[in-house]
Amino acid sequence: MSVENIQRDSEFLAQRKKLLAVAYRMLGSTTDAEDVVQDTYIRWQNSGLDIDNPAAFLHKITVNLSLDRLRARSKSRIDYVGPWLPEPFIDSDKSRDLQNPEELVAGLSTAFMIVLERLTPLQRAVYLSKQIIGLSHNEIADLLDISAESSRTHHRRAKQALSGAEKQRYEVNRDEHRNLLEKFMLAVAAGDVNALQGILAANVTCYSDGGGKVAAASKPFSGALAVIKFLLGTARFRSANAMPHIVTVNGSYGLFIADSAGDSLLTIGCDNGKLTELFIQRNPEKLAGLRQALFSQ
């Protein structure tokens, strides 16, 4: 390998975690994000250019490749069976050793990833570049080959579409998340209705994604009593063979349940010490990476 290629590898690796986090926010899929980052690396190595700002160049490639994928998959998302939830973003503790770890974990929550689905691909690219990455409209214009005024328009429309939901990009205290998950796990395992009523908000909403491949609720449903009935009537949450694991995903904690009947990942939204949203990922294609990360060690 030439000295030039070694230098390029070093510059790419210095940005890789950030590029992966950007691509994931754009796509909601770790698998697709990994593919985009790999394609970015190939283009970077083949560019043959003397780049003054490698980070900006790599970011531009990543965002535009992600934008292409978003546009291409629009029909498949319309045809998706049942509620869509993002593929979990596996959050390595090593990312917290970086100088600015918030750049990697802010805006990764399941709740925020869901509300981003309201945006058009270009609105999503502009909004994330402005709100999460912190670029100016002139920088976004250069990034996406649009005018600065167009960037402002897309950003304004994105904020309007997300009105009332933007707060979901700010992460809840991780210790609170873990504490609530542990209480939830014990209450469900014991079938303790009173304990569940104590930690579930009255209007808690449950989302379940099976992708048409495994059993899951066909649409979101709300209300503490309805959610409790669903949880206590679902064998996988109380099976003697189920193996629960607290895992770090999407900037906080989740509960992964390995079961012969099919794996599940529970992530939560919470407010004032209550669970306000339950997100149950059951699509085996979306859980394959997490299972491998847990059991290949």
Q: Encode pLDDT of 149-186 as tens digits.
A: 999 999 999 999 988 666 555 555 788 889 999 999 99
What is the tens place of the pLDDT at every residue in 238-295? 566 778 889 999 888 999 998 777 899 999 998 888 999 999 999 999 999 999 888 8
pLDDT of amino acid 97: 40
pLDDT of amino acid 33: 96
How far, in Å, CA of 87 to CA of 30, rounded? 6
Q: 3-class DSSP state for residue 254?
A: strand
pLDDT of amino acid 98: 39
Mean pLDDT, residues 42-53: 85
The domains of the chain are located at 3-169, 174-295
CATH-assigned architecture of domain 174-295: Roll (3.10)
Burial (CB < 10 A; 0-12, 13-18, 19+), residue 196, is buried
pLDDT of amino acid 209: 96
Is the pLDDT assigned to residue 56 strictly greater than 80? yes
Q: What is the 3-state secondary structure (H, E, C) of 154-200?
A: HHHHHHHHCCCCHHHHCCCCHHHHHHHHHHHHHHHHHCCHHHHHHHE
Say which range, 44-48, 54-58, 238-242, has the weakest mean pLDDT.
238-242
Residue 95 DSSP code: G
Count Cα atoms within 13 angstroms, Cβ side, for 72.
8
How far, in Å, CA of 66 to CA of 81, rounded? 23
